[in-house]
Structure 1
Amino acid sequence: MTSQVRGAQLARLLGQWHALPGRRRSPDYAALAGAVRGLLADGRLPLGVRLPAERELAEALRISRTTVTAAYRQLRESGHLASRRGAGSWTMLPGTHRVASTGLWTPLDDRDMIDLGVAALAAPPELLPAARAAAEDLPRYLGGAGYHPTGVIELREAVAAGYTARGLPTSPDQIMVTSGTQHALDLVLRLALAPGGNVLVESPTYPNALAALAARRARITTHGLATDAAGWDADLLLGSLRQGRPKLAYLIPDFQNPTGHLMPAELRERVVAAAHAAGTDLVIDESFVDLPLDGTELPPPVATFDRHSRVISIGGMSKPYWGGLRIGWVRASAPQVQRLAAARVGVDMASPVLDQLVAVHLLADAPAIVAARRTQLAAQRDALTDALARRLPDWRVTAPRGGVTLWVELDGPISSALARAAEEVGVRLAPGPRFGLDGTLERFLRLPFTLPAADLAEAVGRLAAVRYDLDRASRPRWQEPAVIA
């Protein structure tokens, strides 16, 4: 069944479409068509959705039906709308475009695109030797069926040893290997959250976590993070747990995505105690825990304070190693791991054995690989913050002590407009609203520092030019009043 957006819903998404930058240079129908393309560009309007009938949208926007008809016609001509008489009109992308990993539509030929929408590093040089060594290890597994729902023992032992080294004693029976961290989250939600369950998340937070929660039809409440280094307001966070008593809370305490905040040890202990009192399970995303910068000392893992099996930790190889290696894991109690394995049978059976063996060899070299990653990221972070200070001094940036992203406060609510304009000059962005609910966070932008310093400087230069053009396009044009006599 095709989903449909009603006239009032689309009008709310469009907002002040007639006042967008560049509006005065185009007629109403062109501005409306451009606003719809913008919603498609930043992912707030999905593909394959049936738009409201022309009359319904005209009434919702309080404009003429002729204007809506012309806007729909322009969207059809640009390849963003498909219509069939008597059946309606559906959103789509032009044949020469594709959906990028950020959700933005982008030309197929984008070799010169600087992608700041993906917060992940290129593969380390150690990956190829690890893959060769894994291939040599593979024959001893070929005599079996190849299904290991909780993961091959070597990898579970390696992951468990990593937790133990961080001060959290862990056995291999408490580890389940998954096909990436997102897969780990999905399996945990299947186990711990009934459809329609209440979930507390940070705002901003990881967009794909919001997508996973939406798939479970979760009722989401948010805890707003401060823009400064403090991050979490302890009283508000604990109050949200005690008063809301959510079934589940999804938190990223280690270099939070996208803000880079690091939750202090005292608050971690208090959060676990509050969650236990409220009957809330905590899903702790540790995707960035291996990437402290500038010698930052990490607090104990959140699960260190857990005495009642309320904390489920998830992590993976994507951020410190390579996103193309789809290996993640869940750390929980041994009975929870067994229940997760049972739930997994209906999803994908098991993770690829060869990928798991590659992960084993990479984790064996973890000290050298991760140390090099930290040095690389610190230099690239400094290059990005320096470029922003020179070219866009009105943007506010707090350099994080770890992770891979800056959470930038812009000089106005322009994040989505900036992302649309930046795409035209070869820079792909993930605008602030993608990290929150209901189109909020327009004053913010996530900028990862995972690309080489030269690319980051070039991207900032292009953004500075685009920001200047937005100002020029939105400047009012004063005219002498017409004399009526």
Structure 2
Amino acid sequence: MASASITARSLSTLLGDWQGAGAQYAALADRVRLLVLDGRIPVDTRLPAERELAEALGLSRTTVSAAYAQLRDADFLHSIRGSGSLTRLPEGPRSIPLPTDTGILDFSKASLPALPWLAETVRQAADELPRHLGDSGYDPVGIPELRAAIAERYADRGLPTEPDEIMVTIGAQHAIALLARTLIGRGDRVLVEQPSYPHAYEALRAAGGRFAPASVVAGDDGGEADSMVQAIERTSPAVGYLMPDFHNPTGRSMSEEDRARVVDAAARAGTLLIADETTAELDIDRLDAHAPFAVHGDAVLIGSVGKTVWGGVRVGWIRAPRPLIRKLVAARHPGDLGTPILEQLVVTALMPQMPEILELRREQLRAGREHLEAALADGFPEWDVPHVDGGLSTWINLGSPVSSQLALAARTHGLIIAAGPRFGIDGAFERFLRLPIGYSAEETDAALAALALAWRSLARTPVVDPSFLADVV
């Protein structure tokens, strides 16, 4: 199988503001390494030829050659005759620690621990499994009782819904990918928020979409709606993907007025909006409650229990008109044959408990938010930390474009964090860092202690020596 490749122009864009105070070749190697570590450049991707990248970056070929040599020495690059230089991840003692390894804190995921009573619910669901064992077990649309429970939840939130308007998926990411490959044709314009959930970018881009971005800022005062309406009117996108509640990563929620404006603009342009509502009910103390996005007009909704029950329960859903549900069922078979029945039974049992689940999560998130905000104010007074009223993370302005350098430095102290550009298109958001609020006080304190060491190391040496990093990550 032929390897994927990245052009010099595309790599130059991904690199963003990569230069620091140290040697250029070391800074370039550092940034490419981070792009590989966080998945923005997939493993086994062919990098541009040295001469091509040197011309794109305005560097000498010697500088690029030295950077590639650093990457090869650190086992992030290997060269194959006739195939060029391909990215890789180190193996053996130099391998990247898994999040479960002792001493490694993974703050790159905004999530919550499993429900305390989840194991008991699984045991109860297992008792219900025998009545399904006479069927094939291949369920591309969802068991009737779960679809009915999801529809009832939408109705309770103010959006009347029938079970046949629901399709159960293998989590929200699966829903995004399925919608993308069903609705997007090669070269279609796709409205996206900037920044946004990086795996949504990947799914939409893989389906052939060309992005029409709209800016999002923490505490948005309506500017995002202006940007989205302008992007819709200018490009007439086929599809739009947005997170109207507790946006990832900024934490902002759209006002009812802005939701109506965007839905109206989309209707006039023939744009089908997809609203990702996986975090919509994670309210801490938001002043205004919001009904599901589709109360304002035609929109496809995505939900899941990954953020409320546990990320390990891979059940999500799509709410859409019946004709689209039928189209999605037909398109699903080449990718998978259905959502596991046992996990559907688990979620069916938990859906009536959602008010109690959300109250527990509200208290956990309130405690996590208050602890994180106080600790950041004490330890990093120069950072701008917005106050969030729900969701799973806060979007911090570092005051200088060093997010990627900070993420690399943090790895040397046992902390994995997602750099700001991970949430942008083409290397943007170097001034920002997303930190989750759902971890325990002990985990947060340990993470901030590591982050403080990394931050101080940047003040001493803006670009970390890559040969040292290779032995630690």
Q: TM-score, normalised by structure 1?
A: 0.89
The reply on whether 1:75 has 2:63 as its aligned counterpart is no
Contact 1:408 1:445 in 2 (8 A): yes
Which amino acid counterpart does residue 6 of structure 2 have in structure 1? V
Report the Cα offset of residue 297 of structure 1. 3.6
The more displaced of 59-68 and 178-187 is: 59-68
In the other structure, the counterpart of 1:427 is: 415
Map of 1:233 onto structure 2: 224
Distance 1:299 1:175, change over 3 A: same
Residue of structure 1 equivalent to 2:192: 201
CA distance in 2: counterparts of 1:407 and 1:231, whole angstroms: 18
Q: 2:433 aligns with which of 442, 445, 450?
A: 445
Q: Give yes or no for contact 2:286–2:390 (8 Å, CA) kept in 1.
A: no
Taking a change above 3 Å as real, the CA distance of residues 351 and 437 of structure 1, as seen in their structure-2 partners, is same
Deviation track 1:103-157 (CA, whole Å, cap 9, x = no partner) reads xx54688321121100111111121111011100000000111222210011001
Bigger CA drift: 233-242 or 245-254?
A: 233-242
Greater shift after overlay, 360-369 or 425-434? 360-369
8 Å contact kept, 2:46–2:83: no
Q: Which residue of 1 aligns with 2:352?
A: 364
Asked if the contact 2:182/2:331 (under 8 Å) is kept, the reply is: yes
Deviation at 1:60, TM superposition (A): 4.8
Secondary structure of the residue that 1:47 maps to in structure 2? coil
Matched, 1:95 2:86: no
Q: Where do 5+ consecutive residues of structure 1 fail to align?
A: 100-104, 476-485
Distance across 1 between alignment mates of 2:383 and 2:166 = 42
Q: Secondary structure at the match of 2:5?
A: coil
Offset of 1:331 from its aligned partner?
Answer: 0.6
Equivalent positions of 1:146-161 (< 5 A) are 146-161=137-152
Q: List per-residue Cα deviations over 1:381-414 (Å, max 9, x = no partner).
A: 1101111111111111212111111011111111
Instruction: Confirm or deny: 8 A CA contact 1:265 1:300 kept in the other structure.
Output: no
- What are the residue-to-residue correspondences of 1:390-429 with 2, within 5 Å? 390-429=378-417
Would the alpha carbon gap of residues 87 and 190 (structure 1) be closer, same or farther in structure 2, given more than 3 Å must change? closer
Following superposition, the deviation at residue 465 of structure 1 comes to: 2.5
Deviations 1:31-59 (A, max 9, x none): 44334323323433332112233444455
- C-alpha distance 133-297 of structure 1, shift in aligned 2 (>3 A): farther
C-alpha spacing 1:190/1:61, structure 2 compared with 1 (3 Å): closer
Does residue 366 of structure 2 align to residue 375 of structure 1?
A: no
Q: 1:40 to 1:149 in 2, by over 3 A?
A: closer
**CA offset at residue 459 of structure 1?**
1.4
Tell me the amino acid that sits aligned with residue 5 of structure 1.
I
Match for 2:20: what amino acid?
L
Counterpart in 1 of 2:424?
Answer: 436
Contact 1:58 1:68 (8 Å CA) reproduced: yes
Cα-to-partner distance string for 1:426-485 (whole Å, 9 max, x where unaligned): 11111111111010011111111121012112212321232122112149xxxxxxxxxx
Identity rate, percent: 45
Q: 2:163 aligns with which of 159, 168, 172?
A: 172
AA paired with 2:173? Answer: Q
Give structure 2 stretches of 5+ with no counterpart. Answer: 464-473
Q: 1:58 to 1:269 in 2, by over 3 A?
A: closer
User: Does residue 317 of the first structure (1) align with residue 313 of the second (2)?
Assistant: no
Question: CA contact under 8 A between 1:184 and 1:314: conserved in structure 2?
Answer: yes
Query: What is the TM-score with the length of structure 2 in the denominator?
Result: 0.91
User: What RMSD, in angstroms, separates the aligned Cα atoms of the two structures?
Assistant: 2.3
Structure 1 counterpart of 2:374: 386
Give the aligned partner of residue 478 of structure 1: none
Classify 1:312/1:108 alpha carbon distance in 2 versus 1 (closer, same or farther; 3 Å): closer
